[in-house]
Chains A and B, each alone.
Chain A
Amino acid sequence: MTAQKAAALDVESLEAGYEPGLPIVRGASLQVQTGEIMAILGPNGAGKSTLVKAVVGLVPVSGGRVLLFGRDITRVAAHRMVFEGLAFVPQTENVFVNLSIAENLELAAALVKADRRERLDPVYAMFPDLARQRALRAGQLSGGQRQMLAVARALITRPRLLVLDEPSAGLSPKLVAQVFDKLREVRASGVTVLLVEQNVKAALALADRAAVLVEGCERIVASSAELLGDERIAALYLGRHTGQQTRKEPH
């Protein structure tokens, strides 16, 4: 039997929710291939954020499993995920506002017991704006700068998979373009990226593939190019039923 190369992330029939017996994610399955950028799309309340929070250990999982590069991380505590090679950038409040930029990044390096200079220098090189203002309190940063700091903080841990929850939320189109450019750089450095997005157009322009989540379950998984021409996307976002069969990848 030949060993098959494991996906970066393999979510199998995942069920998760905040209250016992009330799952928000209902049997979702998806695979993120190593080195790709994958987007999770879907209407409000589809369970996109809950899905990624369940993957990173912030929301209790009641069924199914999550494999990271073939390793089962379903029951791994959220604070151990950075040691598994998974970093998460929440949608809001994603930096420690009472710490300076430098303190945010130094803390991230110290927590994974890494050499501070060795981890910080490349990240400062990648984010020169942050390097220039490193003594500034994170709470004083603008929305776009905070998002950059949040990504930088995650990269300090040298993740193999970077998960982001709506990185474009609250940002102007110009700032969204800057953040997404940075994510392209992150991918180019060898990090697999999974992001939840409301901004469908921007997300499909960035991602290689996307999964559309509806009512806690993936309804369509396809390449961005395919989805850009798919009429069902609009129907799903508007909550209309077209009567068409949607494609679901086999588990």
Chain B
Amino acid sequence: MLQIIADGLIIGSVISLGAIGLSLTLSIVRFSNFSHGELLGWGGYFALTALATFSAIAPGATAPLGPFSFGWALLGALLLAAALAALLALLLDTVLFKRLRRQGAITLVIASFGSALALRNLLLFWQGGVPQYYSQNLQIAIPFLPRSVWGGLRATPDQLFVLALTLVTVTGLHLFLRHSTLGRSMRATAINPNLARVAGIDPERVLRATWIIGGMLAAVAGVFAGITVQLRPTMGEDLLLPLFAAVILGGIGSVWGAVLGGFIVGLAESASVSIVGAEYRAAAAFVVLILILLVRPNGLFGEKG
């Protein structure tokens, strides 16, 4: 039981970080970006490439840090991947979405389908289809509770790192949105774009910030998926529906909603793997989604229309 919750929180960390960017895009850029999942995949592989480069330059930086399977090099690669994924998101906006913005949300959604296909296949072409890992070091899970207590609880240091860094990242984003002028401008634009304009908010600046934050968080989520599971060029596609489920569950535009939605989807997936089998994993997330939407049609933290 406890193990199911712990595993759900780890899966939920990846989904939460990915869902925040998707939620921000939905509420500020105002369309469902089906290529957002690919930013997770590209972010993960950007970090893998950066890690290989760092290893060649400074082999010592890959030595494991304390109990973790990775060294300083992966942390550096994570930062670089976040920056590169932000640039990729901005590039996508500049060459594609920005030109189509006047055509309306449906055109943007279809364009995002197309860009998702292109990005996924480019990644497959670049990295090949074989799953890859940041580290070949094996980690032993630390037993926190014996089997006699609710089935026991074990977690690897890497998993705890992922969970802790997710909470730090989300708290940082919360403080940014709450207290900085740009963060408040983003919240203002999400709720009322026309008023935001006449209030003096530059819409293009807010859109750029949204792509940058969404891209960075997606990269971090992709790296976390690589640390806790593995890297696959199709991981963006596999994560896309759970990301949407998390956003809708939490309520569009709400950061904490996306985080809570991500953890709920993660828990549902984890429980389904243990109870009904891994093949029903995706379905479980949607059963929870339907149940919650029956009670709260705007999601857990969504504004009423």
Whether the pair B197, A79 counts as a contact (CB closer than 8 A) is yes
Closest B residue, CB atoms, query A88: B198
Closest Cβ–Cβ distance, residue B94 to chain A (whole Å): 19
**Which residues of B are found within 8 Å of A87, using beta-carbon distances?**
198
Interface hit among B6-14, B108-116, B179-187, B275-283: B179-187
- B181-215: which have CB < 8 Å to A? 181, 184-185, 187-188, 190-192, 194-203
B191, A56: Cβ atoms under 8 Å? no
Contacts A98-B303, A110-B181, A111-B181 known; A90 to B187 CB distance under 8 Å? no
CA distance A76 to B235 in the complex (A): 45
Residues in B with CB closer than 8 Å to A157 are 200
Residue A108 at the B interface, CB < 8 A?
A: yes
Contacting B at CB under 8 A, from A104-128, are 106-108, 110-112
A: interface residue count bin: 20 to 34
Report the Cα distance A77→B197, complex, angstroms.
9
Contacts A96-B192, A98-B303: A111 and B187 contacting too (C-beta < 8 A)? no
Complex: A159 Cα to B192 Cα, angstroms? 21
Docked complex Cα distance between A79 and B184 (Å): 15
Contact assessment for B195 and A107 in the assembled complex, using a CB-CB cutoff below 8 Å: no
Instruction: Kindly identify which residue among B181, B187, B201, B202 contacts A98, using a CB–CB cutoff of 8 Å.
Output: B187
User: Do A111 and B201 have beta carbons less than 8 Å apart?
Assistant: yes
Q: Does A83 sit at the interface, judged by CB under 8 A?
A: yes
Distance (whole angstroms) from the CB of A61 to the closest CB of chain B: 15
Contact of A94 among B185, B195, B200 (CB under 8 A): B195
Any chain B CB within 8 A of the CB of A227? Answer: no
A161 to chain B, nearest CB (A): 13
Q: Does A225 interact with chain B (Cβ within 8 Å)?
A: no
Determine if B185 and A111 form an interchain contact, defined as CB atoms under 8 angstroms apart: yes
B195:A108 contact, CB within 8 angstroms: no
Whether, in the assembled complex, A153 has its beta carbon less than 8 Å from a beta carbon of chain B, the answer is: yes
Question: For residue A82, which residues in chain B have a CB less than 8 angstroms away from its CB?
Answer: 198-200
* Closest CB in chain B relative to A111 CB, distance in Å: 4
Contact with B along A44-67 (1 / 0, CB 8 A): 000000000000111000000000
Contact residue among B188, B192, B198, B203 (Cβ-Cβ distance under 8 Å from A107): B188
Chain A contacts of B198 at CB under 8 A? 56-58, 78-79, 81-82, 87-88, 90
The smallest C-beta distance from A91 to any residue of chain B, in angstroms, reads 11
Contact with A along B293-305 (1 / 0, CB 8 A): 0000000000100
Contact A153-B184, Cβ < 8 Å, known A58-B194, A97-B191, A98-B303: no
A111 touches B200 (CB 8 A): yes
Whether B200 pairs with A90 at a CB distance below 8 angstroms is: no
Interface size (B, Cβ < 8 Å)?
A: 19
For A153, what are the chain B residues with a Cβ–Cβ distance below 8 Å?
A: 199
Contact of A93 among B192, B197, B200, B202 (CB under 8 A): B192
| Bound CA–CA A90/B198 (angstroms) | 9
Given contacts A107-B184, A110-B181, contact A96 B195 (CB under 8 A): yes
Q: State the Cβ distance, B257 to closest chain A Cβ, in Å.
A: 12
Given known contacts A108-B199, A108-B200, A157-B200, A90 and B184 CB-to-CB distance under 8 angstroms: no
Does A99 touch B at the CB level, under 8 Å?
A: yes
> Contact between B197 and A83 (Cβ–Cβ < 8 Å)?
no
Return chain A residues, CB-CB under 8 Å to B192.
Answer: 93, 96-97
Question: Closest B-chain residue to A153, C-beta based?
Answer: B199
A215 an interface residue at 8 Å Cβ cutoff? no
Contacts of A93 in B (CB 8 A): 192, 194-195
Shortest CB distance B188–A (Å): 5
Given known A-B contacts A97-B191, A111-B185, A83 and B200 have beta carbons under 8 A apart: yes
Chain B, residue nearest A111 (CB): B200
Contact A79–B203 (Cβ < 8 Å): yes
Q: Is A208 an interface residue (CB 8 A)?
A: no
Complex interface bits, A139-155 against B, C-beta within 8 A gives 1, otherwise 0:
00000000000000100
Within 8 A of A (CB), among B139-164: none
Report if A12 contacts B (CB, 8 A): no
In the assembly, what is the distance between CA of A108 and CA of B196, in Å?
Answer: 10
Shortest A68–chain B CB gap in Å is 14
- CB pairs A–B below 8 angstroms (15 shown): A58-B197, A58-B198, A79-B197, A79-B198, A79-B200, A79-B202, A80-B200, A90-B194, A93-B192, A96-B196, A97-B191, A106-B184, A107-B188, A107-B199, A108-B199
Q: A57-B197, A107-B184, A111-B200 are in contact. List 10 more A-B contacts (CB 8 A).
A: A58-B194, A79-B201, A81-B198, A82-B199, A90-B194, A96-B196, A98-B187, A98-B188, A110-B181, A111-B185
3 smallest beta-carbon distances between A and B, as pairs:
A111-B200, A82-B200, A110-B181
